[in-house]
Structure 1
Amino acid sequence: MEISFKAISIFLAIILTGLSAGLFYGWQVSVIPGTKKILDIYYLETMQSINRAILNPAFFASFFGSLIFLVLASIVHYGTNTSVFVLLVASTIIYLIGTFGVTAFGNVPLNNQLDALSLSELNINELKDFRLEYELKWNKLHLIRSVFGVLSFSLALLALFFQHK
């Protein structure tokens, strides 16, 4: 049995998008509820640490790889099966705007603001005020990228059902 480039591209698009969506979903249902219960200084220190640690090859492979392979899978399915192509393009656009775009233009700038802070120099009220603003915005943006990530993954996965139609 020969595996085609089309099959490999859609497989990698689905796996990587699933990993990305799973990361965001897992964060939404575990980390966010857990961090709501800790003191401001610990929350901000934890978020600084996580935001620095997540910038690693494994995260980059799933986060950027999702977009790369969704685009690639869309291109190689052009003109072969309209349903598969439309589902992959929809998945790509949803991931590009709702997951990638929200992260790049929403969460990352907030993470950069937090990273620039010297938490030890802030008083209790400054810590509380920054956390309140940061956490509210960051969590809303995270929910958006999580929903769009799961939707993108679902559409890419759905494309498999139309693969041999």
Structure 2
Amino acid sequence: MNTHPAGPHAASPVPAPSPAARGSRDRVLLAGTVATGLVAGTYFAFTCAVMPGLAATDDRTFVAAMQAINVKIENPVFFAGFFGAFVLPLIAVFRQRKAGGGAALRWTIAGLALYTAGLLTTMGFNIPLNNTLKDAGDAAALADPGAVRRDFEDPWVAWNIVRTAASTAAAGCLVYAMRLRGRAAAGS
């Protein structure tokens, strides 16, 4: 005789995660949210200040400045944020999924997808343009720095706007996921 009130096929309730497990999951999401915000802010700074400022310079100065920026941005601090903004939300997705998912999981996935779009834009368009600019040679020795600039500036700016929008939207999704996680923690 079946003595279980819900019947023989009822699913066992998923035990609530411990506060330590929930806190660890939330810290990963928080770190991913911060990293995504920092990367979006970097792109935003280029959109609002760096590129408009360089637009006011002569061709040789523009090429030399962008070549120098492209060298200096390749550093451990930037790479930690750039790749951390992908890896940390990815880890958060797996950890939230393992814990049962919910609305916060869906917003975290949306944030990860949007950041991935920005990451692919960077790798598919901005970085190849940066490499072409680097391969042009020393800005001081270029015969026609105007041609090098024309081939680089407008496409790079356009793709930077795309990745800025995608990364900013990703950060917004992750912030909302954090808000939902906070509500869930407050309710438990």
TM-score of the aligned structures, taking structure 2 as reference length: 0.82
Moved over 3 A (4+): none
Give yes or no for the alignment of 1:72 onto 2:88. Answer: no
Aligned residue identity for 2:24: F
Aligned residue identity for 1:82: G
Percent identity, please.
23
Task: Determine helix, strand or coil for the equivalent of 1:34.
Answer: helix
- Aligned pair partner of 1:151 in 169, 172, 181: 169
- CA shift for structure 1 position 120: 3.5
Paired residues in the alignment total 162
- Aligned pair partner of 2:116 in 96, 100, 111: 96
Q: State the distance in 2 between where 1:80 and 1:25 align.
A: 35
- CA shift for structure 1 position 106: 0.6
Q: Deviations over 1:73-123 (max 9, x none)?
A: 1111115342101100011011011x1101111100111111111233422
Select the structure that is richer in helix: 1
Q: State the distance in 2 between where 1:6 and 1:20 align.
A: 21
Aligned to 1:106: 125
Task: Determine helix, strand or coil for the equivalent of 1:38.
Answer: coil
Q: State the distance in 1 between where 2:23 and 2:83 align.
A: 23
Structure 1, gaps ≥5 residues long: none
- CA shift for structure 1 position 51: 0.0
The Cα RMSD (Å) is 1.4
TM-score of the aligned structures, taking structure 1 as reference length: 0.93
Task: Determine helix, strand or coil for the equivalent of 1:4.
Answer: helix
Give yes or no for the alignment of 1:25 onto 2:26. Answer: no
Please say if residues 30 and 178 of structure 2, whose CA atoms lie closer than 8 Å, have aligned partners that are also in contact: no
